[in-house]
A and B are shown apart, each in its own frame.
Chain A
Amino acid sequence: MKKLIIGLVLSLMLLTMFSACSTTNELVFADAGWDSIKFHNAVAGFIATNAFGYDNWREVSGTTPITHQGTLTGEINVHMEEWTDNISTYQQDLEDGKLKEVGINFDDNYQGFYVPRYVIEGDAERGIEPMAPDLKTVQDLKKYKDVFPDDEQPDKGRIYGAIPGWEIDNIMHNKYLYNGLDENFNYFRPGSDPALSAALSGAYEKGEPVVGYYWEPTWLLGKYDFVLLEDHPYDPTKPEEYAEGKTECPPVRVTIAVSNEFFEKDPEYCVFLSKYRSSSQLTSEALAHIQETGDNHMDTAKWYLKKYDEFLDDWLDPDKAQLIRDALK
């Protein structure tokens, strides 16, 4: 009797598993942990389910290296935001043919050391005096170590660096060394993205001075008024100078990549991805919409597609574009 029950339960479980596997025709996106990628996933997912015959789409969550790894192994079909500069093995993987880059999502973003605007200009409304009125460039920081004290070592200043493990972290650290900031500043690695944004937004809410690495497009820089510190201009003929930290950060190429398997399986959808294009500005606008209205990513994606209707013609065949327009109604 016992065996019979166990057998029944097992076969039932197997049955549901099989039926789950056979009926779904789903698309798997990467969720590397920040808002903009979820937004782009929603836009691409909405188009996939409404014009390319997918039943549904889902996200696999993880960090930058984990989602990149997932794309290499094929567990993730589409990665909408590969921050190529933050993945040390990206070029190598591409050359080895481990994944396919199908398009560029955006490549006009900024990153670098930011300070709140009130640090330089003050804020009469909040009663904040300018603390570092002549701070304009990374090199100027040297004069202001007392403005940004390090709690753990009060005789030095503190600069929040990038997330440990991101490629840009090495570059920012080089920049810190190259400009001789190590004399009177500590380069403080914040450990994780939420920790860094909590440090910057916490300081901003309290009106305290803070200097740290951040990047656009993000909700944080959309919501708070931060100023990017200038640096020597980037020279495209000498990219190694950038890696050594001598120049400002050029925009990162944020690409759309797909797994090899998926590239074979659905070339039609990959053609759409290769035409897909946004910009730092557009993405920030969508993220600001999420912050302001409290809409989820899916609703924001619909709002975005309605607002920028002309993109549908750029990205899709006329009949498919019509399917999306019908679905949006």
Chain B
Amino acid sequence: MKKRSIGVIAVLAAAAALAIVASAMARPAATAAASAASCSNVQIGMSAPITGPAGSIGSDQLHWAQFFFAQWNKTHKPKIKLTQFDDQLDPAKAATGAQSFASNSAIVGVIGPAGSDQVQAAAPIYKKAGLAFASGSATRVSLTSGKWKGFFFRDVPNDGVQGPTDAAYMTSTLGVKSGDTVMVVDDQESYSTGLADIVGASLKAKGVTVDRESVSQKATDFSSLVAKVTSSVKVVFLPFQVASEAQLFAQQLKAQGKTAIVFGSDGTFDVSKFNPEGALISFFAPDVTTIKADAAIVKAFHKQFPGATSPFGAPNYVLAQMYASAVTKACADGKISRAEVRADVQKVALSSSLIGPIKLTAKGDVAGAKFHIFKVVNGKYVTIA
């Protein structure tokens, strides 16, 4: 009898524990996603690689978002708090950050993650939590192909714009013609292979011979590949994620006396790490430090965050601006919900912003966005197209 009652108690206790755990697990996301909260504590999350190999990029992105909200909070209500998470450009960490933001009911929207792989890892969590999330640097085409429509958006053009832009620049400005060869080398990461494929296909469509190559992101010896750069190879396209790898490739190209033009992409956009004289880089945002209309904002930014900035930063200022606009609209009745912010932020249209006019398409891309071409001149990046 005693044994039997102990067994029953144990089963009941286990069932109760299971029920408590299950309800605890289900509650935060469901509650946070569904209910409207007070506008007294509104937060925007930001997932960025603040430390690690891409730390300089992530810090710059964070600074621009912090700068916007610091300015905004001086003159607007409700005040918006930026809550940061360091994902170190790691998809697993980005997913952890998404869980953390999802369970914080004060967070009504998220800036980031920065990279396409990280967006992909975190997206299901944000969608489940009903959160809008926006990237100022994730450019993979498939991110806005419909799976996360209404949840994910970006204020920079995607790789589908970059590939044809780069190919067109090679043929129209660099004089690459039918019969010439362009070596396209990816670094075996999804960003790189995707962009390399698009550029390769665009060039082939123009009759250009494409030598499609692939190297590990950890490779340091490119001499075997450089040996294949014959006189018919006019351009070597390097859509690498690590800028110093592209620099190494360019150095080994020069060491072997090869004169092909080196053409990098947004992953190589780091003047301290990738600066071979005459090299070209395509990038998804303009250099706001060279735009006269942006001068006052850039000056104020530098006052708060002295030191260099890169074009990776400013798109995050604009995303913060879009969220601020959406939060203001949602808080008109004194309450705010994630669903409201999600709906409102997609409708925000800026006739002018730091990085140009912003109007989102139904998919969440910027209508009419274009890539910019930079050239290395005397160790500095100069906008040429």
Q: Do A and B bind each other?
A: no
Which residues of B are in contact with A by a Cβ distance under 8 Å?
Answer: none
